[in-house]
A = this chain, B = another copy of it.
């Protein structure tokens, strides 16, 4: 491992001052061609590159944004990360990822770490909103003293920071209306876990939609399912086995595509055929949706755009210090074949 050359070494070797070396590097025009060349030679000879750490200290900022996410098992989060990464990159910032341990919300240590690292702005996403409101607000208040804070969160979360909301109304209205149009009247909601703000919001909106469309609401039709395939599979088995066949719903709206995947497996195991015997709608429009059998109709929440906006606002907030901002990106229904719509089905009851 070679010893790193410093700006002093270069200055000495070129017989100039450090200031001149900096000027050469910064392409400052007011430096004699001969001098420039001398310095450049020394730089090349030593493969010299200024230390970012020292630059950061001098500048008083490392030009780093942070994104705090629950462990990136779910592709939804890597989409957020990716979009944020390139948006930061485009603005000359780098992005550091902080992962929270297994469903643990933000810890005090993580907040400290964020502050100690002199992060220039932080974006939160994922279900950290379920944690104790007091703790969360404390953490936020502490952070806000030092950096702009943004969150991708359900609408109505009363956090005092830049809020980018996913459209949890459309997110459930769209599928319900779609199913209604196709003639379905008995629709189930297979959701996350209801302690979560996100899931409970969706369930609330779901019931609201049923009411609006004058559809029957059977309490047995909304059921917790966690956030992954296993959860979806189990929840579906539970739902169907707890009801006699005649009371089965004819369609299911799921919290996300992973749950839908599990649900579809359960349905197949029960001998049901999609979309004839059961319609299914997922959420997140993940990469595998076109490749399930049948291809899964889903909702796109546009996480990339949300992340991009978040980063932009974070960067803006650094100067204008307008810490308050709130926007909502509406959801889009992507119709495939898991409800039969693309096939021209129409449910008759």
Interface of A is mostly: mixed
**A272 interface residue (CB < 8 Å to B):** no
> Which residue of the partner chain B has the closest CB to A286?
B288
Contact B52 A145 (CB under 8 A): no
A291-326 residues at the B interface, CB under 8 angstroms: 291-293, 321
Check if B116 sits within 8 Å of A49, measured CB to CB.
yes
Residue of B51, B53, B71 touching A82 (CB-CB under 8 A): B71
Given contacts A146-B4, A261-B288, A288-B288, contact A51 B97 (CB under 8 A): no
The answer to whether A268 and B288 have CB atoms under 8 Å apart is no
A2, CB-defined interface residue at 8 Å: yes
How many angstroms from the CA of A241 to the CA of B71 in the assembled complex? 43
Contacts of A95 in B (CB 8 A): 97
Task: Give Cα distance in the complex from A271 to B162, angstroms.
Answer: 51
Instruction: Give the bracket for the number of chain A residues in contact with chain B.
Output: 35 or more
Query: Could you say which of B50, B116, B229, B287 contacts A52, with CB atoms under 8 Å apart?
Result: B116
Task: Give CA–CA (A96, B292) in the complex, Å.
Answer: 34
Q: Is the CB of A112 within 8 A of B49?
A: yes
**Chain A, 110-156, CB within 8 A of any chain B CB:** 112, 115-118, 142, 145-147
Is A57 a contact of B53 with CB atoms below 8 Å?
yes
In the complex, chain A residues 166-197 whose Cβ is within 8 Å of any chain B Cβ: none
Bound CA span A29–B88, Å: 43
- Min CB distance A94 to B, Å, is 7
- Min distance, Cβ A305 to any Cβ of chain B, angstroms: 17
A229 to B81, CA, bound (A): 22
Give the chain B neighbours of A225 by CB distance below 8 A: none
Known A53-B53, A116-B51; contact A146-B96, beta-carbon cutoff 8 A = no
A99-B85, A261-B291 known; A62+B53 contact, CB < 8 A: yes
A213 close to B (CB within 8 Å)? no
Question: How far in angstroms is the closest Cβ of chain B from A71?
Answer: 7
Q: Which residues of B contact A49 (CB under 8 A)?
A: 112, 115-116
Q: Are B62 and A2 in contact (CB under 8 A)?
A: no
A47 at the interface (CB under 8 A from B): yes
Max count, chain B CB within 10 A of own CB: residue among A2, A82, A147, A291: A291
Which residues does A use to contact B, with CB under 8 Å?
A: 1-2, 4, 47, 49-54, 56-57, 62, 71-73, 75, 78, 81-82, 85, 94-97, 99, 112, 115-118, 142, 145-147, 229, 261-262, 264-265, 268, 287-288, 290-293, 321
Q: Which 4 residue pairs spanning A and B have beta carbons closest together? A: A2-B145, A49-B116, A261-B291, A293-B293
List 15 interface pairs A-B (beta carbons < 8 Å), by A numbering: A1-B145, A2-B145, A47-B115, A52-B117, A52-B118, A53-B57, A72-B81, A72-B82, A75-B75, A97-B97, A261-B288, A265-B290, A265-B291, A268-B293, A293-B293
